[in-house]
Structure 1
């Protein structure tokens, strides 16, 4: 057992010191800091003008539309991003003010021969669609207001007619999540799914590459003379798992401390990010399931990657050999993304019991729905059993595969590895 721990910590320390790990961790930490401080960073480039609304002049060529239009703009522009005023200058003078950056734009309002409203917006460029979107909404409402006024429809009746009806959602099923709980659970599920997806791709591929690298350098021949191949395999699995915990721990700690430091400054984008990661009110059981399925997902694919890596002799062949595994991970993630909008669909229910999809899709159902405990337990059991089977078969493949130096990979090499393991 001492040899197991030696290989485990050797794998962990050696990977921890590599330039690729340090650089990737530093870059990812930088991205975390960028995201959690995005609101503050954006404000730095506003030069103090970020709080000032854009000034836009309105020329009412019909002499009738401006009062109703101004009222509708006020209702549509809830964030007060633009400030309109009735123009007293000519169109040419206003265009000059725009070029001199005294104005953001000018809007021309009119009615054609049929009485239809027309609008033309002029600005230095039209890349920013915020004002245009507000104007479209306001003009549509102005058209209704003006039209109903001509038909002598009372404004009170008009307001009642166009006031949106709020639909309250009430779940009758006992234990079903409320709308607020479901919103928070969706954010948590998305984060955990993404962590599972990235972790499996990154660390499982790392294990396969590590084994292939040792074989290509003939270090494996020295290792197997002192440490049994099966101990090597599981020592590497746990060593890389410890590396993953270190990296993810650093990322989450950085993100948490950054959000705490910006708690008082959090506005706009900062509030959105903070709300997305807010797990208050999420059941503890959901968090526990998240950890369980993350661990299961890692060991499921890491075990598969270890014995796939053991049947290749060149680093160049690793990606080709593990590509079916990567396709399984991608497929599971894509199904889970679909399931976020329809977690109770029969397709999601069925795929949640398929071992290679269960870590992501069963957790999706646990987080989004109130499913029976036996279903979650069955998903965990099926995945755990698959890991045991992969570990038993994988250990035999690993035992024979580490002594193989034939080119390529595939089923032919796996069968040959199994035959070699029996002869040992």
Structure 2
């Protein structure tokens, strides 16, 4: 048993000290910190007091004043400046950066506003959306005047309809809560997906590397192949859990440090303002179970090849299974209550991501995620038992071996 713990510790520490792990973790942690501080970073580059100035040529001599008031109410960081210069002269100033753009106002059909906005780019931004909304409101006011409507009647005409959703089931989430859950589930799903693929590939590659360098022949003389397999799986699983813990800690500290600046906008839309401990716990549980399921399969497949270059071909079906589960989860973000998504959440290879999606977005009965966890545990035990038999014989197979027919050969070697 001491050999098993030695192998486990070696698998864990060797990957923990690897440059690839350190660099990957650093980049991911940096990305989380940058996302949490994105507002401060933008302000540092642009400055809090930056004002976008737009030159206006008002051919009507009537619209500028009303439009200026509307723009100020919508966005105080945008100002309009009436100019008498020619269009070509102002366009030159726009190219030089003196103005953010040029707005030309005139009357179109029915004496309603007709506007042309000229800038260095056609991409939509806050300026164009603000100016468009302001002109729309000015047009509504003019149209109301032409139809002899009072401001109260115009406000009543444009008032949003009262529409409220109510669920018969007690505790069902509102649309706002679903949108918030969708954001955080989306991000955690990406982490589970990429982590499972990365660490499962790592196991398969390491097994193939040991076989190609003949190190495996030395190892099996002192440690049984089955102990090696589980030591690698558990050791690298601890590496993944360590990375997840570091990233969650960085994310938590970044959010707590900038909590006052992160209220509203992107932060709330993506659900970080309502992040619960239960979601984090479920993310860790399904990450670990998904990892052990696919890691066992990867170790099994990696033991069948003798050359590193054959690894990707051998584990390609496993990669497709992970991708299919991820795509089902992405589909489920829009339709989490779909029967298709519900059924897929109980298929072992898809459960880690799809069941986590349902737990994160829906108030499902506790027995459903528990059933999913039980299905995963049973599947891992069955796959581990089968994989151990193949691994024991597969590590002794050399030569060109990249076909699933070699599974039978590995089982026959185990029997001998």
Equivalent residues of 1:362, 1:376 under 8 A apart: yes
Counterpart selection for 1:411 from 389, 396, 404 = 404
Q: Aligned partners of 2:356, 2:211: CA distance in 1, in Å?
A: 37
SS at match of 2:405: helix
Deviations 1:120-165 (A, max 9, x none): 2233444463322222333333333212211211121011110223
**2:324 corresponding residue in structure 1:** 331
Q: CA deviation at 1:313?
A: 0.5
Q: Aligned partners of 1:29, 1:225: CA distance in 2, in Å?
A: 41
Q: CA RMSD in A?
A: 2.5
**1:358 corresponding residue in structure 2:** 351
Q: Aligned partners of 1:205, 1:351: CA distance in 2, in Å?
A: 24
Q: Aligned partners of 1:354, 1:317: CA distance in 2, in Å?
A: 28
**2:12 corresponding residue in structure 1:** 12
TM-score when normalising by structure 2: 0.91
Q: CA deviation at 1:304?
A: 0.5
Stretch of structure 1 that moved more, 202-211 or 28-37: 28-37
**1:250 corresponding residue in structure 2:** 246
Equivalent residues of 2:304, 2:407 under 8 A apart: yes
| Residue 373 in structure 1 maps to residue 366 in structure 2 | yes
| Residue 155 in structure 1 maps to residue 151 in structure 2 | yes
**2:129 corresponding residue in structure 1:** 133
**1:29 corresponding residue in structure 2:** 29
Equivalent residues of 1:207, 1:305 under 8 A apart: yes
SS at match of 1:58: strand
Q: CA deviation at 1:114?
A: 5.4
Stretch of structure 1 that moved more, 234-243 or 81-90: 81-90
**2:311 corresponding residue in structure 1:** 318
SS at match of 2:334: coil
Stretch of structure 1 that moved more, 237-246 or 367-376: 367-376
Q: Aligned partners of 2:108, 2:186: CA distance in 1, in Å?
A: 50
Q: Aligned partners of 1:234, 1:319: CA distance in 2, in Å?
A: 21
Q: CA deviation at 1:42?
A: 2.1
SS at match of 2:348: coil
| Residue 83 in structure 1 maps to residue 79 in structure 2 | yes
Equivalent residues of 1:68, 1:146 under 8 A apart: no
SS at match of 2:43: helix
SS at match of 2:104: strand
> Cα–Cα, structure 1 residues 278 and 35, in superposed 2: closer, same or farther, change >3 Å?
closer
Equivalent residues of 1:105, 1:123 under 8 A apart: yes
TM-score when normalising by structure 1: 0.90
| Residue 57 in structure 1 maps to residue 51 in structure 2 | no
Structure 1 unpaired stretches of 5+: none
Equivalent residues of 1:259, 1:274 under 8 A apart: no
Q: CA deviation at 1:356?
A: 0.5
> Cα–Cα, structure 1 residues 198 and 96, in superposed 2: closer, same or farther, change >3 Å?
closer
Kindly report which structure 2 residues correspond to 1:206-355, keeping only aligned pairs within 5 A, or say none: 206-266=202-262, 272-273=266-267, 276=270, 278=272, 280=274, 282=276, 284-355=277-348
What number of residue pairs does the alignment pair up?
416
Q: CA deviation at 1:91?
A: 4.2
Deviations 1:330-370 (A, max 9, x none): 11111101101110011111111111101111121122112
Q: Aligned partners of 1:92, 1:211: CA distance in 2, in Å?
A: 69
SS at match of 1:4: helix
Q: CA deviation at 1:97?
A: 4.3
Q: CA deviation at 1:170?
A: 2.6
Kindly report which structure 2 residues correspond to 1:114-125, keeping only aligned pairs within 5 A, or say none: 115-125=111-121
